[in-house]
Amino acid sequence: MKSLFYLLATPLLALAQNWPPPANVTGDTAVHDPSICLDKDGKYWLFTTSVDLQIITSEDRKAWTSIGTMWAPGEAVWTNKYAINGSLWAPDCHYINNEFWVYYAASTIGSRNSAIFLARSKTGLPGNWTNEGLVTSTSPTDNYNAIDPKFPLLPNDGSIANSSLTSLAMRNVNNGAIEGSYLFQVGSYYYLFSSWDVCCAGVNSTYNVRVARSTSPSGPFVDQDGVNALNGGGTLILGTHGSIIAPGGESVFMDKNDTVTLVYHYVTPNGSFLGLNGLNFSTGWPVVTALE
């Protein structure tokens, strides 16, 4: 599970570089904290932060169509203790044994009264989801926040194995602005992606994507300069460039033909939209590329 310390972010301008632009996607691509999984037929399913969790599908990663939400209005009553009006965050989707698994968070901005839940579906379609219940939660007295879930290593029923916590990354500057962690294995390394700085301030957002790696999922993680992630280490791989503002809220998935795709949202004056790029690991570190 992702359990980085959550604190309010303060501004730090992301570096502008000549990264490839996001893929030319069309259709319903107004998203936040997107996560994509592939079904057995090679169809793409995108889940995003929204009221009742929006579902968007595509056959080619270019044309996207919204097909509805996971939950009907007012259905997800088990989240009411943590969320307002069914606003649910940061879904993390996986397709396991012909079934969709989606972890998601319920909270409000600035609060640690938060929880992570699991839902499953055989079809992925609206109205076909089963609430598997609470996975974990936090209260205002905790020093971490139960948001932005990711499950690399969990029991078969999707629960957490035990209540012990392992801190993987921490910042001591900018009010500790780090969140949205995502753990992904390539070869012998586990790569810890995270979003730094200001998320949700429109065109004034300064989100950017960082990475550190380890040979163990429990760390220690270090960046390309050898700085431990617990001491603020994190190599910048994607930041504001050109008209692409504050990319972040990232996830990663194994795409067709054993390629790896980076999924994120970015900001324009018109809102928050879907960005897709490839990741090349040939040097041992992820390099953002044009989408194949």
150-193 tens-digit pLDDT: 887 566 778 777 778 889 999 988 888 999 999 999 999 999 99
Query: Is the pLDDT reported for residue 16 higher than 50?
Result: no
CATH 2.60.40.420, applies to 167-292: no
Query: Is the pLDDT reported for residue 38 higher than 90?
Result: yes
119 beta partners: 102, 131
Contact 85, 74 (CB under 8 A): no
Q: Is 250 considered catalytic here?
A: no
The pLDDT of residue 153 is: 58
Q: Is 179 considered catalytic here?
A: yes
- Mean pLDDT within 223-248: 96
For the chain, percent of residues with pLDDT exceeding 90: 82
The pLDDT of residue 176 is: 83
Query: Is the pLDDT reported for residue 68 higher than 60?
Result: yes
Positive or negative CA dihedral for 83, 86, 90, 95? Answer: positive
User: Could you tell me where in the chain the CATH 2.115.10.20 domains are found?
Assistant: 24-158, 167-292
CATH for 24-158, among 2.115.10.20, 1.10.3720.10, 2.30.110.10, 3.40.50.720? 2.115.10.20
- Options 33, 92, 197, 223, the catalytic residue: 33
- Options 92, 179, 197, 223, the catalytic residue: 179
The pLDDT of residue 258 is: 94
Q: Which of 109-123, 162-176, 233-247 has the lowest mean pLDDT?
A: 162-176
More confident residue, 35 or 8: 35
